[in-house]
Amino acid sequence: MPIHVFSTFDNPSAIAGTTQAFGVNDTGQIVGRLQNATGFHGFLLSGGIYTILDDPLATNGTDVRGINALGQIVGTYNNATGQHGFLLSGGSYTTFDDPSASLDITIAEGINSAGQIVGFYYDAIGPHGFLLSGGNYTTIDDPSATTDTVAFGINGTGQIVGYYRNASGIHGFLLVGSTYTTLDDPLATGATIAYGINDLGQIVGTYDDASGTHMFLYSGGVFTTIDDPAANSQLGHGINNTSQIVGVLSDGSGTHSFLETTIPNPPPPAGTTAEHDPSRLERIPRSGGPVRDLRHRQ
């Protein structure tokens, strides 16, 4: 059985509980958002070093959501004219706004290795997902939705995940080509939201039940709950092609970002039939926060 190792981290310059991780690429670079005395800022965590990311046109905060294998980053900034998407590539920021965003709100959420970007925009009806590919915008509206459709993640083959809302609640979706598939975790009694998808087709997200919010991994048609046992609630936001997951959790000490890494359970010692000695702790050190070790058996 695999072992799920959680490493929590917080930017040391951020107000406690405001470091939120949203995306991770295959080299382990993590992006997200934090708040400090001067407001909201994006961040890049690479090689244990935090870099603050502020769009030069922002006057009221920058929010970073996605990063691809090339290190291209997408997010949103706020100023007097509204909320605008941006692409950070090669050190340069480029603004983009969905032309259908009549309320001046375009939110960028994910980017794949081909530079395709997904997110959502607002008009008088509400939020709609979008795909920006080759300079062209395509609106994404799940046919089962009666109000919201929001796109959060896209992988290298163009598969898109997010959520939609209708009279029965909030449901995750997977869009492949022109086909929408609803994703509802079987343990959910409330919302299911799909946030991220990797090139293997593995999907990470959250579901709600009577005990709170939990993280799920959807792989090979199977939903698996992956929760840090010390957490009161947990949101899985992004997943890379090595199946590492980033997100946010709350525990007794507050709210923290996390990186979850799945490793194989070591084989039993020679000459024994023991699956694994639970007294042995597997450690994957990470700077910026404590490491939690747990063994989640599927």
* pLDDT tens per residue, range 210-243: 999 999 999 999 999 999 999 999 999 999 999 9
Average pLDDT over residues 41-57: 98
Counting residues of the chain whose pLDDT is more than 90, the rounded percentage is 87
Average pLDDT over residues 188-195: 98
Do the strands 3-9 and 254-263 form a parallel or antiparallel pair, or are they unpaired?
antiparallel
Mean pLDDT of the chain: 91
Residue 83 forms beta bridges with which residues? 78, 105
Average pLDDT over residues 111-123: 98
Residues 6+ apart with CB under 8 A from 179: none
For the segment 61-84, what is each residue's pLDDT rounded down to a tens digit? 999 999 999 999 999 999 999 999
Average pLDDT over residues 132-140: 98
Task: Please give the C-alpha separations between residue 297 and each of 125, 172, 246, in angstroms, as whole numbers.
Answer: 44, 25, 20
In single-letter form, the type of residue at position 88 comes to L
pLDDT given at position 273: 56
* C-alpha angle 94-95-100 in degrees, rounded to nearest 5: 145
Please check the confidence at residue 56 and state whether its pLDDT lies above 90.
Answer: yes
What's the pLDDT band for 264 if we cut at 50, 70, 90?
A: confident
Every domain of the chain and the residues it spans: 3-269+277-294
pLDDT given at position 64: 98
Question: DSSP letter string over the chain?
Answer: --EEEEEEE--TTSPTT--EEEEE-TT--EEEEEEETTEEEEEEEETTEEEEE--TT-SS-EEEEEE-TT--EEEEEEETTEEEEEEEETTEEEEE--TT-TTSBEEEEEE-TT--EEEEEE-SS-EEEEEEETTEEEEE--TT-SS-EEEEEE-TT--EEEEEEETTEEEEEEEETTEEEEE--TT-SS-EEEEEE-TT--EEEEEEETTEEEEEEEETTEEEE---TTEEEEEEEEE-TT--EEEEEEETTEEEEEEEEEEPPPPPPTT---S--TTSPP----TTS-EEEE----
Rounded distance, CA 148 to CA 146, Å?
A: 7
Rounded distance, CA 278 to CA 291, Å?
A: 17
Task: Please give the C-alpha separations between residue 214 and each of 50, 151, 173, 225, 229, in angstroms, as whole numbers.
Answer: 27, 20, 17, 7, 11
Please check the confidence at residue 292 and state whether its pLDDT lies above 60.
Answer: no
Nearest to 181 by CA among 215, 219, 142: 142
What's the pLDDT band for 288 if we cut at 50, 70, 90?
A: very low
pLDDT given at position 281: 33
Rounded distance, CA 205 to CA 130, Å?
A: 19
* CATH fold label, 3-269+277-294: Neuraminidase (2.120.10)
Rounded distance, CA 292 to CA 284, Å?
A: 9
pLDDT given at position 128: 98
